[in-house]
């Protein structure tokens, strides 16, 4: 596959930073919901020769002070407590959203610090202008900025009674100072690439015009993919790449995160497919 004819400002000409270290991948592989997905994603990126087109940056670990800027002390203390033995039966875990959908694993505190630190590393690379696009495919498991008018959040997702996490209704528009700065677009099951791209671009054009963002954080959730265990949407990596290219055409500092609970090749292929538009390939 060739990217001949790319203009100087095309996505494949952007300076891309990829957050990676063997230790980080090993930590991310420990999640029982997505075992070894991080290493499979990295192996595909490496096999396709994409690393030579990106600057590889070693992630740091987030400090407890940094995590406490968003998480409560009680939550962090609980992670510390259960991190030693991976006790998934602690009665307090349910109060913090830990359980079936977010199971406890041994070393969960270290995992949270590693993923948070990797995202902070990627963001710092954008601030330091070391890259125009920064990637942390093992990130994206966190939700923030629902209480501020400085960030507009946009989510296209499945929403139905009993479906985790149970939020994201059309009427959910943010809280406190962030009221009217959250855009939720609930979708029916089975949506395919063309229809999703139409909805995505229609919404994002309005967001760009009204909010005029200075930077973008984009989570490419793997649970949109056809074949995902959630059986929600029917998308392919091609459709995801179309959405990514649309946002990259804004020419803003862009942070890319992974996500979703697919532990199979659907999620792996989606994240590899999200990397390809950023890199000129020759095969």
Active site residue 143: yes
Beta bridge partners of 158: 187
Q: How far apart are CA 59 and CA 64, in angstroms?
A: 16
Sheet holding 55-57, edge to edge: 55-57, 16-19, 133-136, 254-257, 216-219
The DSSP symbol for 139 reads: -
> Shortest CA distance to 75 belongs to which of 64, 85, 88, 86?
64
Of 42, 78, 143, 157, which is the active-site residue? 143
Say whether 53 sits in a helix, a strand or coil.
helix
Which token pair is 150?
A: 């400085």
Helix axes 37-47, 265-275, angle to 10 degrees: 40
Which token pair is 139?
A: 């990130």
Question: What phi, psi does 223 have (nearest 5°)?
Answer: -80, 5
The DSSP symbol for 28 reads: H
The catalytic residue positions are: 143
């Amino acid at each position: 596959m060739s990217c001949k004819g790319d203009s100087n400002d095309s996505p494949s000409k952007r300076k891309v930073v990829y957050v990676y270290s063997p230790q980080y991948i090993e930590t991310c592989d420990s999640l029982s919901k997505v075992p070894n997905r991080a290493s499979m994603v990295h192996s595909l990126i490496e096999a396709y020769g994409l690393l030579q087109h990106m600057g590889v940056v070693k992630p740091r670990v987030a400090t407890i002070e940094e995590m406490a800027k968003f998480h409560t002390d009680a939550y962090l203390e609980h992670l510390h407590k259960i991190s030693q033995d991976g006790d998934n039966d602690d009665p307090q875990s349910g109060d913090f959203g830990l359980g079936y959908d977010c199971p406890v694993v041994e070393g969960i505190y270290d995992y949270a610090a590693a993923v948070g630190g990797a995202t902070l590393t990627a963001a710092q690379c954008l601030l330091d202008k070391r890259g125009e696009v920064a990637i942390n495919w093992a990130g994206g498991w966190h939700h923030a900025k629902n209480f501020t008018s400085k960030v507009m959040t946009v989510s296209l997702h499945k929403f139905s009674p009993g479906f985790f996490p149970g939020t994201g209704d059309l009427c959910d528009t943010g809280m406190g100072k962030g009221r009217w700065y959250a855009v939720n677009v609930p979708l029916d099951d089975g949506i395919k690439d063309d229809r999703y791209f139409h909805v995505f671009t229609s919404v994002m054009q309005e967001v760009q015009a009204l909010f005029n963002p200075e930077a973008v954080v984009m989570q490419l959730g793997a649970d949109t993919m056809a074949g995902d265990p959630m059986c929600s949407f029917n998308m392919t990596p091609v459709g995801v790449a179309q959405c990514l290219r649309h946002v990259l055409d804004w020419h803003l500092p862009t942070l890319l995160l992974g996500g979703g609970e697919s532990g199979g090749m659907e999620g792996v292929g989606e994240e590899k497919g999200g990397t390809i538009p950023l890199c000129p390939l020759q095969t």
